[in-house]
Amino acid sequence: MKVKPKKHLGQHFLKDKQIAENIVNLLSLHGGYTKVLEIGPGMGVLTDFLITRPDYETHLIDIDAESIVYLKKKYPQLQNRIIQGDFLRLNLDTLFDEPFAIIGNFPYNISSQILFNILDHKNKVPEVVCMLQREVAQRLASPPGNKEYGILSVLLQAYYTIEYKFTVHEGVFDPPPKVKSGVIRLLRNSVEKLDCDEKLFKQVVKQGFNNRRKTLRNALKPLHLPESMHTHPLLDKRAEQLSVADFIELTKLAKEA
């Protein structure tokens, strides 16, 4: 018995067990968690390795009813740790009352939404290991000054150290996706709260990248920054040139003035 791959659920099943093991091996126990949630296990290629580890307890969530039937049969020992549902609608606050890691070969069509959801619960999630479309993975892990650097890169890098680990080619999936994949690891840093108004920080970042080819002086016009700021040198730059620290500085100035 096999799960029939469904395109609308982003199902591309990894066939290469060595790659699966390498992905699972990236979990470093950073932050001292003892639970791991796998998003989108599909037929369990990662799960096979996760369940052999004594350091943590593995939980699964998949939206696909057919996968769930398959997984419940394959892993009788996980019975009540297999959730059928949409990760985007899962309440991460009430799921566990302790920190947990997240792992998964994410459905690529919703990978950014998954990461935004994790970001909303960053204090509960000390580590994330995930496979995404390669370009997205590179963008998240890239430093400022890079064309790939974007909103989610800045917001995630404010709270996580992100490392690009390796590229995975199309041919090791059934069915093969149209794009290459990349595996990244996110480790929660020690920042509890940014040294600025975090809500305004988000607005500044989003607005800045909304017009990423404009200087920030122009891109941020809709935020009505105070006159006194208009000569600030950071405003001569474009959003993609600013580090997290630069965005924090800008946010503080906008708030003070």
Write the DSSP assignment of 41-93 as a string of letters. -TTTTTHHHHTT-SSSEEEEEES-HHHHHHHHHH-GGGGGGEEES-GGG--HH
Contact between residue 167 and residue 117 where contact means Cβ atoms under 8 Å apart = no
Contact between residue 101 and residue 27 where contact means Cβ atoms under 8 Å apart = yes
Region near ligand SAH per CB under 6 A, out of 24-32, 55-63, 134-142, 154-162? 55-63
12 among annotated binding-site residues: yes
**How far apart are CB 85 and ligand SAH at their closest, in Å?**
7
40 among annotated binding-site residues: yes
Report which DSSP code applies to 143. P
Region near ligand SAH per CB under 6 A, out of 103-111, 121-129, 132-140, 150-158? 103-111
What is the SS3 string spanning 147-161? CCCCHHHHHHHCCEE
**Site for ligand SAH contains 10 (CB under 6 A):** yes
**Site for ligand SAH contains 208 (CB under 6 A):** no
Task: Among 27, 36, 63, 242, indicate the residue that binds ligand SAH (CB under 6 A).
Answer: 63
d(CA 200, CA 206): 10
Q: Which residues bind ligand SAH (CB under 6 A)?
A: 9-14, 39-42, 45-46, 61-64, 67, 86-88, 105, 107, 110
Annotated binding-site members for S-adenosyl-L-methionine: 12, 14, 40, 62, 86, 105
